[in-house]
Amino acid sequence: TAVFGNSNLKIVNIDNYDLRLESYFKNGDDASISFYYKNFKNHIELINSGGVTWQNVDKSRIYGIELEGKKVITKNLDFRANLTLSKSETEYIRTRFEIDGGVKNYIPLDTVKRDMFGQAPYVLNAMMTYTSDSSGFTATVSYNVQGPRLVIVSDLKELPNIYEMPRHMVDIKFSKRLGRHFNVSLTIRDLFNTP
């Protein structure tokens, strides 16, 4: 696939609004809920219009809720998780990309509304951690999954948008303190080699 740069890209402007409520408990547990809204102008997206390039889009927005918490199971074992649910939308003018005499031209076709580039409708992270302060040993198992994410946007009606589908990722990490200044660790990423 031919890849073209775009020297006309503009810097994205973002209006960001958040409301967060948190609660902390004496036993070390905590919980929070966040509501957010983000309004983007000139969001940069990867566009396929016969060749791949980057392009600003007129308007994008995303809003949602995030739940987060920590549960202390024993003195050495805790569980943490967060879940984000979001809705995104992009509105832009679909163009046809042409090069004429070495000059890039974008010819307007129609107005499109669709999911925002790079934004998953949900993200779930969870982590179980065992810590032994006396021996300086830590073991962590983590899990991550995110919803279908638009990764290449088609600027042509006959070409489909390309999505990265959900992958259930499990990672494991062991860490051991060696003296006061050193640490050694072993990390196993994507334990199940998820396609």
Q: What does the alpha-carbon distance between residue 127 and residue 116 come to, in Å, rounded to a whole number?
A: 28
CA nearest neighbour of 53 among 164, 157, 165, 155: 155
pLDDT tens, 119-159? 999 999 999 999 998 889 999 999 999 999 999 988 777 88
DSSP assignment string, 54-82: EEEEEEEEEEEEEEEEEEE-SSSEEEEEE
pLDDT tens, 156-175? 778 889 999 999 999 999 99
pTM of this prediction?
A: 0.83
Under 8 Å between Cβ of 127 and 79: yes
